[in-house]
A and B are shown apart, each in its own frame.
Chain A
């Protein structure tokens, strides 16, 4: 068979049922092999959309996402999505066509050194220059993408390799050893936990990626330790869990941030002290000892020196610690303090007047979503409102570009999620700025008749940037006015997506029902006032203790 046929066969062998991509000259043999094969392909209308769909597929399903692009511009268009997958640790295999080996380095048509470009935005990358290496390389790519801390892997395949003949042989697969915690480390961790009077769990995306959600919930149930989550950690802790204070950080809840500032032991689980979480690092939980649990040893001590650190599988560490602390925690006073913080800083959804208050609408949406549902959002004010005011049953149900913060993520990620979970209700919550960044993917929805719901929150502004201009740049609104937006509902209708616009608070309930009950895709365009900002907020460079919670100039 040809190399191209082997590529498809390797994908099928890895249980890949759908690939997202866009054809072009240097990847034509692979598209030829795809034709009539059992591996389904969903055509995007821009390679960034294809790769984000693969990211959405991976994040909603826990499986490795796969995308195809041709050489040159096809490959460069993947770069943003690869970077997004790297910063959010998403398992992805990107396969790019390349010009033939004989002309590599001659500046051939659509030739770019994508291997060189990939070095900073992938977990690993390969260029296959020997047909005998093709199958082992692809197998290795799938292993690397999923093992340890997951991430994107790029495989660049020159055209002559795609058409070269080979005999298909399944390579011997190595099974990576699981990183196991040592008894000494577990004992040291248990000592910190049982001696703590004010411990708190700071839970990140690593828990969901490790498949350790159930283990974490058991640990919380047994230990009774209060908890907060990062943007990527949302959904790991069940909604309504006693002592769970929601998201921490720049736009976290006041209760969450104050509890963390007050704690004497910070238990970091699958998280990495991101600057949007910590505020001014030196004053982040500054009186606390730190117990850091993560699969990636490079995160331990990177930004905050831990007192005890364990680089091992959370699925092993958490049950061991659960056993170790059973009946040994004495934190009832602290639990009561946290309860009080939680009560004192509850969200207030009472918003008088006729205007639509997005936080209240999103809370309502969360309460209406069925058991099997996914929310994919974009980046900006609406993203923070989703994180603050919606709740999720699993981390796989909340797709948000956290590390890279990529506008244009939501729509293609929702497409990938809907393909991975065809029976789920998939809603993309977007803003009028972000939505236009991958708007071409409306055609992909039309093509596959995907029932993706689009909730477009429109304040005719690049809202988050506007908010910062208002607060920190003397109200000099440089290039954040979007009052010349297109007619979004009319635009959606051109892609056979029905929808409507609402702008009064009393329309919300019925409009959300109409959207959720529609059998196909739907756009609910929600016009909101541009005066609404995201609160509370930790100003840049400030400590998480100093949150602003209304419009006041910094002193």
Chain B
């Protein structure tokens, strides 16, 4: 099953490694990823992941990372709309 996450992180050199490590270790495969630096020195990371597991098993772990300030699961409905648009 595909899932989409919008993650806000603090700008630190290793922050992407942290996010990707947790994603892999918790059993999710990254299928697409985007990243941009925000004006307020934070960074926005958007991940599309694939797994049989419930997405909360990943989002609950990501939000525990000290450098992750927000982790939003984009509901499947809007994901479908995004794919159609």
Contact = CB atoms under 8 A, between A and B. Distances in A.
A116 B14 contact: yes
A120 B56 contact: no
Given A297-B60, A298-B60, A301-B56, A124 B66 contact: yes
A116 B17 contact: yes
B25 interface: yes
Nearest to B12: A126
A298 B66 contact: no
Interface string B38-67: 000000000000000000110011011110
A553 interface: no
B18 interface: yes
Contacts of B56: 301
Contacts of A296: 64
B66 A144 contact: yes
A191 interface: no
B10 to A, nearest CB: 12
Interface in B53-83: 56-57, 60-61, 63-66
Contacts of B65: 124
A298 B21 contact: no
Contacts of B64: 296, 298
Contacts of A116: 14, 17
Given A124-B66, A144-B66, A296-B64, A119 B17 contact: yes
A169 interface: no
Given A296-B64, A298-B64, A120 B25 contact: yes
Contacts, number: 23
Most B CB contacts (10 A, CB to CB) among A119, A296, A297 go to A119
A15 to B, nearest CB: 23
A120 B18 CA distance: 8
A507 to B, nearest CB: 50
Nearest to A299: B60
- By size class, the interface of chain A is 10 to 19
- By size class, the interface of chain B is 10 to 19
A436 interface: no
B60 A119 contact: no
Contact of B21 (A119, A123, A124, A297): A119
Contacts of B61: 298
Interface in A105-149: 115-116, 119-120, 123-124, 127, 144
A344 interface: no
A312 to B, nearest CB: 15
A119 B18 contact: yes
B50 to A, nearest CB: 20
Interface in B3-25: 14, 17-18, 21, 25
Most B CB contacts (10 A, CB to CB) among A296, A297, A298, A301 go to A298
A301 B60 CA distance: 10
A302 B17 contact: no
B14 A119 contact: yes
Interface string A275-306: 00000000000000000000011100110000
Nearest to B18: A119
A301 B66 CA distance: 21
Nearest to B14: A115
Contacts of A115: 14
A297 B57 CA distance: 10
Contacts of A119: 14, 17-18, 21
A389 B57 CA distance: 37
Contacts of A301: 56
Contacts of A144: 66
Nearest to B66: A124
A489 to B, nearest CB: 45
A435 B24 CA distance: 35
Most A CB contacts (10 A, CB to CB) among B14, B17, B63 go to B14
A219 to B, nearest CB: 26
B13 to A, nearest CB: 8
Interface in A26-53: none
23 contacts: A115-B14, A116-B14, A116-B17, A119-B14, A119-B17, A119-B18, A119-B21, A120-B21, A120-B25, A123-B66, A124-B65, A124-B66, A127-B14, A144-B66, A296-B64, A297-B60, A298-B60, A298-B61, A298-B63, A298-B64, A301-B56, A302-B57, A302-B60
Which 7 pairs between the two chains have the least Cβ-Cβ distance? A298-B60, A124-B66, A119-B21, A298-B61, A298-B64, A119-B18, A115-B14
Given A297-B60, A301-B56, 18 more contacts: A115-B14, A116-B14, A116-B17, A119-B14, A119-B17, A119-B21, A120-B21, A120-B25, A123-B66, A124-B66, A127-B14, A144-B66, A298-B60, A298-B61, A298-B63, A298-B64, A302-B57, A302-B60
Interface of A: 115-116, 119-120, 123-124, 127, 144, 296-298, 301-302
